[in-house]
Chain A
Amino acid sequence: MPELKIPIEHKTLENGLRVVVSPHHAAPVVTVGVYYNIGFRLEPQGRSGFAHLFEHMMFQGSEHAGKMVHIRLVNSSGGVLNGSTRYDVTNYFEAVPSNALARMLWLEADRMRALKVDDENLRNQRDVVKEEVRVNVLNQPYGGFPWLDLPPVANCNWANAHNFYGDFADLDAASLADVQAFFKTYYAPNNAVLLMLGDVKPAEGFALAQRYFGDIPPNPALPRLDASEPPQTEERRATVEEKFGALPGIAIGYHAPARRTADWHALAMVDQALHGGRAGRIYRRLVLEKRIAVDTEGGIHYPMGDVFDYNGPMLMTTRLLHKPEFTAQQTLMEFDAAVREVQEKSLGEAELEQVKVKFRSDYYSTLEAGMGGYLPRFGLMHYLACFTLFDGDPGLVNTILNGFHEVTPAQAQAAAQKYLVAGNRAVVLRVPVAKGAAA
């Protein structure tokens, strides 16, 4: 396997802010990101959806850049921007021509230093978020299936089991005081990493980081919350109504082994063999051969992320829609048969080799873009941030593939036998409310 040699330099400012620079000067553009080590998993109880609502508030105004200024300044500098809330991080990022680098850092520093928002901003974004939830979940066929359906069934700890997009009552209950408290607690430099990728020299990047972020005070009392999940012993099942679509859906989630263990490497290869597109064993068996399902997808951290970008309990999920002339039981039997084949005979040597090649190829594509052609190096930024915050080592970007490359058929088989068992899984049936609901 060819060795990756992506240039990476990093340092930590006195206030605890980690700074990572990865230079590449082929194009005069730079991607800037700030990642905070807080996601929806650890948002406050009674405030489901708050981490995401808060992300919206970060675009509503900071000390020297009031409402709309942030967005306007990025766009008028020739750039695009966004943010997202994940299980364990919330990120804010911009891709701009490199002559706007200092301006982007100033903007990010301004909103790390002080949020300046009012009740009107909160009301406005609460409304926006509700429409986001409607357009993505409540008013779509199979909305939230399975990323909102499965966690409450599979998990016991509220951190892993609540509605990550937020119950509307909880969104309504969120106050400006909650916003400022959350900001003060989690949005501190010692809970964040700043990333600069592309047309930037490391020395220049570090100097700018010091200049704009150096005097932001840290939070000496970062909370440590427990997101651990008690071991599961029996299969868990639930049923959720499907309001629009006419096809029954099934989601199956197995608790995956802890990140960066031998089992994790092995199960990731099994995952790719099961879920890797049309060549994957589940699609092949259920869609192509048995013709029970019309689509199957899945993976570790599906559909929110991948095997690298989380830091806590996680599921390997399969999502499928099947033809109504087959029962859920028949469908699950075929699914189980696909899993059992791996448990009994492992993966073939050639198959495992193919899976490794595809895994590596996908990794390269993610590094280069990851969010489409207009956010250069978004994926590299994302992995550098996760490896810095979760593992303390951005250099893992260059070496992390090695562990997967070494997985043997015996290890893959053992991982399938250990983790892909009924007592370690949850099953959610998404059941259409009426036949021909689409009419």
Chain B
Amino acid sequence: MSAPAVEPLSPLVPALEAERAVVWPARTTRTLGNGLQVVLVESHTIPKFNGQLLFRSGNAAAGGEAPGLADITSTVARTGTARRSSRQIEEDLRRMGADLGTGAGSDTSHISFSGLTEFSADLLALAAELAQQASFPAEEFERERRQWIEGLKIERATPGFLAGERLRRALFGEHPYAVVSPTEAEAQAYAREQLERFYRTHYSPAGALLVLVGDFAAAPMLEQVEKTFGGWRAPSPAARPHPAPLRPRGRRVHVVHMPGTVQTQILLGNHAITRQHPDWFRLSLANSLFGGAFSSRLVMNIREQKGYTYSPRSTVNPLREHGWFSVSAAVRNDVVAATLTEVFYELDRMRSVPVGEDELADARNYMTGVFSLGLATQDGLTGQLVNVYLNDLPQDYLETYRAKIRALTAQDVLAAAQRHFDSGNAQIVVAGDRAQIEAQAALFGEVTVYDAHGAVL
């Protein structure tokens, strides 16, 4: 019996009191004439505000042929504008007590910022300037590219990165989601003009989203936003179709050989769903029970009972076009096979045996409670709103979330696990020293061994 026995609760444990009402954030929304969707929420916890300007084009928008182009574009976009030098931008931010970050994922590019409310007009103006007038100075581009390449080299020595990269390759094949980072040679080959072209094409207000949360009054802030962003004109980026992802059948083992490592990063995964899928809530709850919470089955088994690992977890990873489910654990080298055995045992238990009512109620309560915590800070609120508006979720998503979770049954969880914990087709990545782990991993499927650069050994 692998599942540890749970002892009965002491009668001394205080009961939960009646739940107090959640105050739902009042949203002010407006789509500007140029297509920019604006969402404002007041939150007066501290005299600051957060902003996220999101473009619905990320690394996948450049297709498979230019990996990381959105990343380097966003990095260089903050290093100069038609009006401000790199140094001026950084000093202006400090003067406003502000932080600003630019970045990109597979599906989005973003400019995010936070600062003191007293400087909100100035900070909005700077964000707008970076979105419209980035000048991509040649010197800054060369400097940032070199730093980027050095960062890529460090990634290639990091077990968690290498495992993640290999899993994406295994799941997505020719689809651009397969590539999470360029090679050094690809990064070296980028020209400044490519960055500018990506920026001109994809940093457009049409289809972009601006979320502002913080210590401001919504009406004057909306006026300020219109004044700052309303005159921005740029054509809508055309979405390009991507090839269908690989959908690997059968369990396979992908070893990333890292000589001399004293631990093995295990990461296994399979295709799952996007946020729009009708199973989204069911799978979220199933994931929470399986490995998404500290008290989940995976953590209790391979950490609290077996001591194989420090931070095991499972994750539902939704991107815009496809999603996947993954399980990760960094374990000591001699328990790779033992860990995989327990992971598949727990996955298949979720697929075959309905979860008990107590455990189900606990997991529902966990999800609804954590959701409430996420509404209590400016950061948490910003994240929740970006999720709703970026993914085009229903307008009442926040207000109905808890009711939807509370309505889920053991059958819902079982059905979601059967459909999306696809253990028979799981792709198993182990990043570690091949001499110590290959034979253990081979017990779970046909093995291919790669080096840190992706070459088959």
- Contact check, A373 vs B369: say whether CB atoms are below 8 A apart: no
- Contact check, A131 vs B90: say whether CB atoms are below 8 A apart: no
Cα–Cα distance between A294 and B99 once the two chains are bound (Å): 20
Cβ contacts under 8 Å, B157 to chain A = 141, 244-246, 437-438
- Contact check, B46 vs A365: say whether CB atoms are below 8 A apart: yes
Cβ contacts under 8 Å, A332 to chain B = none
- Contact check, B19 vs A361: say whether CB atoms are below 8 A apart: no
- Contact check, A368 vs B263: say whether CB atoms are below 8 A apart: no
B195 interfacial contact with A, CB 8 Å:
no
- Contact check, B376 vs A27: say whether CB atoms are below 8 A apart: yes
Cα–Cα distance between A376 and B378 once the two chains are bound (Å): 9
Q: How far is the CB of B350 from chain A (nearest CB, A)?
A: 17
Cβ contacts under 8 Å, B378 to chain A = 368-369, 373
A438 is contacted by which of B16, B154, B376, B379 (Cβ under 8 Å)?
B154
Cα–Cα distance between A358 and B18 once the two chains are bound (Å): 42
Q: Mark A55-96, 1 if CB is under 8 A from B, else 0.
A: 000000000111111011111111111000000000000011
Cβ contacts under 8 Å, B231 to chain A = none
- Contact check, A78 vs B366: say whether CB atoms are below 8 A apart: yes
- Contact check, B380 vs A103: say whether CB atoms are below 8 A apart: no
Q: Mark B347-361, 1 if CB is under 8 A from A, else 0.
A: 000000000000001
Given A26-B23, A78-B366, A124-B304; A373-B380 close (CB under 8 Å): yes
Q: How far is the CB of B228 from chain A (nearest CB, A)?
A: 21
Cα–Cα distance between A64 and B12 once the two chains are bound (Å): 8
How many A residues touch the partner, as a band?
Answer: 35 or more
Docked complex: B199-237 residues within 8 A CB-CB of A: none
Cβ contacts under 8 Å, B260 to chain A = 243
- Contact check, B46 vs A277: say whether CB atoms are below 8 A apart: no
- Contact check, B330 vs A28: say whether CB atoms are below 8 A apart: no
Cα–Cα distance between A135 and B234 once the two chains are bound (Å): 46
Cα–Cα distance between A251 and B63 once the two chains are bound (Å): 40
B41 interfacial contact with A, CB 8 Å:
no
- Contact check, A134 vs B332: say whether CB atoms are below 8 A apart: yes
- Contact check, A131 vs B330: say whether CB atoms are below 8 A apart: yes
- Contact check, A361 vs B97: say whether CB atoms are below 8 A apart: yes
B189 interfacial contact with A, CB 8 Å:
no
> Residue of A at shortest CB range from B79?
A288
B392 interfacial contact with A, CB 8 Å:
no
Docked complex: B336-383 residues within 8 A CB-CB of A: 361-363, 365-366, 368-370, 372-383
B286 interfacial contact with A, CB 8 Å:
no
Cβ contacts under 8 Å, B366 to chain A = 75-76, 78-79
Q: How far is the CB of A174 from chain B (nearest CB, A)?
A: 15
A27 is contacted by which of B22, B96, B303 (Cβ under 8 Å)?
B22
Cα–Cα distance between A437 and B154 once the two chains are bound (Å): 10
Cα–Cα distance between A27 and B15 once the two chains are bound (Å): 21
A354 interfacial contact with B, CB 8 Å:
yes
B452 interfacial contact with A, CB 8 Å:
yes
- Contact check, B373 vs A368: say whether CB atoms are below 8 A apart: no
- Contact check, B114 vs A288: say whether CB atoms are below 8 A apart: no
Given A79-B373, A99-B19, A364-B48; A323-B332 close (CB under 8 Å): no
B45 is contacted by which of A127, A138, A361, A368 (Cβ under 8 Å)?
A368
B93 interfacial contact with A, CB 8 Å:
yes
Number of interface residues, chain B, beta carbon within 8 A: 90
Given A369-B379, A373-B377; A76-B295 close (CB under 8 Å): yes
Q: Mark B130-160, 1 if CB is under 8 A from A, else 0.
A: 0000000000000100110011011011110
A258 interfacial contact with B, CB 8 Å:
no
A327 interfacial contact with B, CB 8 Å:
no
A106 interfacial contact with B, CB 8 Å:
yes
- Contact check, B307 vs A96: say whether CB atoms are below 8 A apart: no
Given A76-B365, A131-B332, A198-B376; A245-B154 close (CB under 8 Å): yes
Q: How far is the CB of A1 from chain B (nearest CB, A)?
A: 11
- Contact check, A135 vs B330: say whether CB atoms are below 8 A apart: yes
- Contact check, B19 vs A28: say whether CB atoms are below 8 A apart: yes
Given A26-B376, A28-B20, A139-B262; A134-B330 close (CB under 8 Å): yes
Cα–Cα distance between A245 and B362 once the two chains are bound (Å): 44
Given A72-B6, A75-B366, A76-B362; A128-B373 close (CB under 8 Å): no
- Contact check, B377 vs A277: say whether CB atoms are below 8 A apart: no
> Residue of A at shortest CB range from B18?
A99
Cβ contacts under 8 Å, A439 to chain B = 451-453
A67 is contacted by which of B95, B115, B304 (Cβ under 8 Å)?
B304
- Contact check, B369 vs A96: say whether CB atoms are below 8 A apart: yes
Cβ contacts under 8 Å, B381 to chain A = 373
- Contact check, B380 vs A374: say whether CB atoms are below 8 A apart: yes
Cβ contacts under 8 Å, B116 to chain A = 357, 360-361, 364
Cβ contacts under 8 Å, B33 to chain A = none
A259 interfacial contact with B, CB 8 Å:
no
A97 interfacial contact with B, CB 8 Å:
yes
Docked complex: A1-39 residues within 8 A CB-CB of B: 2, 24, 26-29
B309 interfacial contact with A, CB 8 Å:
yes
B396 interfacial contact with A, CB 8 Å:
no
A42 interfacial contact with B, CB 8 Å:
no
Cβ contacts under 8 Å, B45 to chain A = 24, 26, 368
Cα–Cα distance between A306 and B357 once the two chains are bound (Å): 45
Cα–Cα distance between A72 and B295 once the two chains are bound (Å): 5
Docked complex: A359-406 residues within 8 A CB-CB of B: 360-362, 364-365, 367-369, 372-377
Q: How far is the CB of A375 from chain B (nearest CB, A)?
A: 7
Cα–Cα distance between A287 and B452 once the two chains are bound (Å): 28
B4 interfacial contact with A, CB 8 Å:
yes
Cβ contacts under 8 Å, B377 to chain A = 368-369, 373-374, 376-377
- What are 5 A-to-B residue pairs whose CB atoms are below 8 Å? A67-B7, A68-B304, A76-B363, A246-B154, A353-B95
What 8 pairs between A and B have smallest CB-CB spacing?
A: A78-B369, A373-B380, A361-B97, A127-B307, A76-B362, A373-B379, A28-B20, A27-B376
